[in-house]
Chains A and B, each alone.
Chain A
Amino acid sequence: MGIFDIFLLEAVINGLLLGGVLALLSLGLNLVFGVIDVVWICYAELIMLGMYGMYFLYTVYHAPIVVAGAVCIVCVGILGLALHALVIAPLLGAAPINQLLATGGVLFFLQSAATVLFGIEFKNLGLRLPVLKVAGMFVSYSRLLAFGAALIAMVLVYLLLTRTYTGAAIRAIAQDRQIMPLMGVDTRRIYLITSGLGGALAGLAACLLVLQYDVHPFVGLTFGPITFLICVLGSLGNFGGGFVAAFVFAEIISVGGLYLDLEWGYVFAFAFFIVMMFVRPEGLMARRS
Chain B
Amino acid sequence: MTRYVPWIGGAALVALPFVYRSPYPLHILIIILIWSFAYTSWSVMGRFGLVSLGHGGFMGVGAYVTALAWNYGHVSPWIGVPLAVVASAALAALVAYPCFRFRITGHYFALVTLALSGIVLQVITATRDYTGGSLGYTPERYQGGSSLWAFQFGDKTTWYLIALAVWAAGLYVWNRVDRSMLRYALEAISEDEDAAAATGVHVTAEKLKITVLSATMTALAGALYCQYQMFISPDTVSGISVSLQMVFAVVVGGIYVSLGPTIGAVITILLAEVLRIWFGTRAVGWDNLVYGVLLVLFIIFLPKGVVGSLLELRRRSRWTSS
* A interface residue numbers (CB < 8 A to B): 33, 39, 41, 87, 90-91, 94-98, 100-102, 104-113, 115-116, 120, 217, 221, 224-226, 228-229, 231-232, 236, 260-261, 263-264, 266-267, 270, 273-274, 277-278, 281-282
* Residues of A contacting B106 in the complex (Cβ-Cβ under 8 angstroms): 96-97
Contact B289 A277 (CB under 8 A): no
Q: Is B30 an interface residue (CB 8 A)?
A: no
**A-B contacts, 24 listed (Cβ < 8 Å):** A94-B299, A97-B107, A101-B299, A105-B299, A107-B292, A108-B289, A109-B296, A110-B292, A115-B288, A116-B289, A221-B239, A225-B115, A226-B115, A231-B111, A232-B108, A263-B123, A264-B126, A273-B115, A274-B94, A277-B102, A278-B102, A281-B98, A281-B103, A282-B102
Top-6 shortest CB links A-B: A109-B292, A225-B118, A105-B295, A281-B102, A263-B126, A108-B292
Other contacts beyond A39-B110, A281-B104: 5, CB < 8 A = A104-B248, A105-B292, A116-B286, A229-B112, A232-B115
Report the count of interface residues on B (CB-CB < 8 A): 50
Contact B299 A225 (CB under 8 A): no
Contact A263 B122 (CB under 8 A): yes
Q: Which of B251, B284, B295 contacts A115 (CB 8 A)?
A: B284
Contacts A221-B239, A274-B95, A277-B99 given; indicate if A102 touches B299 (C-beta within 8 A). Answer: yes
Contacts A90-B300, A281-B98 given; indicate if A102 touches B295 (C-beta within 8 A). Answer: yes
Contacts A96-B107, A97-B110, A228-B111 given; indicate if A105 touches B291 (C-beta within 8 A). Answer: yes
Contact A113 B244 (CB under 8 A): no
Query: How many CB-defined contacts (below 8 Å) exist between A and B?
Result: 154
CB-nearest residue of chain B to A44: B240
Cα A110 to Cα B292 in complex, Å, equals 8
- Chain B residues numbered 102-161 whose CB sits less than 8 Å from any CB in chain A: 102-104, 106-108, 110-112, 114-119, 121-123, 125-126
Contacts A232-B112, A274-B94 given; indicate if A104 touches B119 (C-beta within 8 A). Answer: no
* B interface residue numbers (CB < 8 A to A): 49, 51, 53, 94-95, 98-99, 101-104, 106-108, 110-112, 114-119, 121-123, 125-126, 239-241, 244, 247-248, 251, 284-289, 291-296, 299-300, 303
